[in-house]
Chains A and B, each alone.
Chain A
Amino acid sequence: MRLPFEPAVLQYLIVIITALVASTAVGLKRGWRGQLMVFVPILAIWGLLGVRKEALVASVNTAYRGLLFFTACGTQTDTGSCLESSGVAAAMLVDPGNADQTHLLLLVVFVTTIVLAFVLVMRLGRPPTSLLQRLMGAVLGVANGFTLSYLLLPMLPYRQQIDLPFASAAAEEELPNIAQGLPISFNVPQVSVAAVVLVSFVVFVILAVRLARPTEV
């Protein structure tokens, strides 16, 4: 996909608008208490990721090796030799020496936490009792949206094309079919635009279905 501007600009816009809209919506719906319930876990996970990212990468790689071991050697009688011959012991999903891959992992964990926090507060939070609380929530929501953008933007990889080496590595080493079907790279602008279109479409259909009135007979 050819764009008239750098992919970074597109990412900036998507992140800032999404963060602002989502955060203001939560503020309006759940008031300032809801905002606080969203913001504290997000800030906590951001701090935790900054301090403990090596531990996270190690845990993900351990889990990946476990999965590979299960699929490659689960049915073998001699698991020891299978472990050596299949290359499972040295396999890794995220290379700690590769800054891009570590960044991608941190980004996925951080975005997942944000989405979870928003969904939980929207589903389980209490509605504000007065209009003032609602408005305070919206104002705090705007502030939170900007803060979220501030935390997220430095984590984004500003590239046109991002390689996903685990898929090619898996294919080369003839590891089990765990990652061979995955693409070896993705185009950042194309994926960003497709994600926006897809999310807008899904939200539109869900809202449309919820708002439809029963047919009068």
Chain B
Amino acid sequence: MGPLEVLWAVLIGVFVVVGLVRGYPKELGVTTTILAALLLLTKGGESVLRVLDSSLAGYAHYSVVFEGQYSSLIQSLFYMLVFVAIVVISYHGDTLAFTGTAPRGPVGLSFNLLSGLLNGYLIAGTLWHYLHAFDYPIQVLGLFRPPLTDFAQTYLVPLMPVTLLEPFLLFLVPFMIVMRVVR
């Protein structure tokens, strides 16, 4: 497998295309859901894991989630699967989609592209964050082997959305809801 940033860039490229096709009002609805998902995972993810761990401990007699051989993999997969599930749901329906359509011409096109880029950054960056936070447990499955390239270490890891936006999520989620309502 090549450098992780190539996969990251390809994933963002896919979401840019999706943004161009769907239009930014729908994409902003997805952004709202992604931010809400991030808030949910950063504030309550660990509590859910603890509940899961205590119920599993009854059967296994040790802390499977936090101390087991595959604890990093389990935690990382938990965060990523919950996040992906929420993203899939938000793309599937358009319940939170903003009303209206994108303006015609290059302005509308640019906004569609930017919204796709934004969602791509949030989704691909979040998945990468949950791999990075647990020291890339997918190497157990033979999928990726650290270390990261210098470029990724220097420029991309500090820009991961979870670390960067976490202190502001409590502001951003209501902001997106207000923006949807005022429209």
Contacts and interface: CB of A to CB of B under 8 A. Distances in A.
* Binding between chains A and B: yes
Interface of A: 1-4, 189-190, 193-194, 197-198, 201-202, 204-209, 211-216
A206 B165 CA distance: 18
30 contacts: A1-B158, A3-B158, A4-B155, A190-B164, A193-B159, A194-B164, A194-B167, A194-B168, A198-B165, A198-B172, A201-B118, A202-B175, A206-B179, A207-B111, A208-B28, A208-B98, A208-B111, A209-B182, A209-B183, A211-B102, A211-B103, A211-B108, A212-B98, A212-B100, A212-B101, A212-B102, A212-B103, A213-B100, A215-B99, A215-B101
Mostly, the B contact residues are helix
Contacts of A212: 24-25, 98-103, 183
B158 A193 contact: yes
B25 A2 contact: no
Given A1-B158, A213-B100, A201 B107 contact: no
Nearest to B183: A209
Mostly, the A contact residues are helix
Given A193-B158, A193-B159, A204 B118 contact: yes
A190 B108 CA distance: 32
Contact of B165 (A197, A208, A209): A197
B49 interface: no
B64 to A, nearest CB: 33
B168 A190 contact: no
B19 to A, nearest CB: 11
Give the 4 A-B CB pairs with smallest separation, nearest first.
A212-B100, A1-B158, A209-B183, A194-B164
A43 B118 CA distance: 37
B74 to A, nearest CB: 28
Contact of B98 (A2, A197, A209): A209
Contacts of B99: 212, 214-215
